[in-house]
């Protein structure tokens, strides 16, 4: 009888970053690794003794080299993939300063809300897109 270990659980702060033209910043995951090549909303794992807002601000600075203001909470999603369970805590954010750079991703792009359907996102991100579309109606 084998005992299966539980899948790891990661708590992730996710940023929906808006610019002054009402566009959203998305990034493409590096080709190697889990879900490689898919598009996503930037963010990352929360560290010990860090609020979700601090996590989002830090991750965006590390991954994209820009400063943001973390705004209101949009949605929290619990999703289980075969290899991983994630809790995505998503906040609206506003681009304040700096030019986004693909530091830890393959590519970045500013897109309009109605263009998000043209990109392939990980399964859990679909709920974020739906929440965004519903909040703008």
Q: Compute the radius of gyration of the chain from its Cα atoms.
A: 15
In degrees rounded to 5, what are phi and psi of residue 9?
A: -120, 125
- The answer on whether 37 is annotated among ligand-binding residues is no
- The answer on whether 65 is annotated among ligand-binding residues is no
- The answer on whether 29 is annotated among ligand-binding residues is yes
Q: Up-side HSE of residue 55: CA atoms within 13 Å toward CB?
A: 21
- The answer on whether 115 is annotated among ligand-binding residues is no
- The answer on whether 41 is annotated among ligand-binding residues is yes
Q: How far apart are CA 92 and CA 13, in angstroms?
A: 11
- The answer on whether 44 is annotated among ligand-binding residues is no
- The answer on whether 109 is annotated among ligand-binding residues is no
Strand ranges, E, within 47-106: 67-80, 85-97
- Binding-site residues for 8-oxo-dGTP: 29, 40-43, 125
- Binding-site residues for Mg(2+): 43, 63
- Binding-site residues: 29, 40-43, 63, 125
């Amino acid at each position: 009888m084998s005992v299966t270990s539980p899948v790891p659980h990661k708590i992730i702060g996710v940023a929906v970053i808006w610019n002054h033209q009402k566009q959203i910043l998305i990034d493409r995951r590096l080709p190697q690794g889990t879900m490689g090549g898919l598009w996503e909303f930037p963010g990352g794992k929360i560290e010990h003794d860090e609020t979700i807002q601090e996590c989002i601000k830090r991750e965006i600075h590390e991954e994209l080299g820009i400063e943001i203001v973390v705004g209101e909470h949009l949605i929290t999603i619990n999703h289980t993939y075969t290899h991983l369970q994630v809790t995505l805590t998503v906040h609206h954010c506003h681009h304040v300063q700096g030019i986004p750079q693909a530091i830890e991703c393959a590519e970045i792009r500013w897109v309009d809300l109605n263009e998000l359907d043209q990109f392939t996102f990980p399964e859990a991100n679909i709920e974020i897109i739906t929440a965004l579309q519903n909040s703008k109606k």
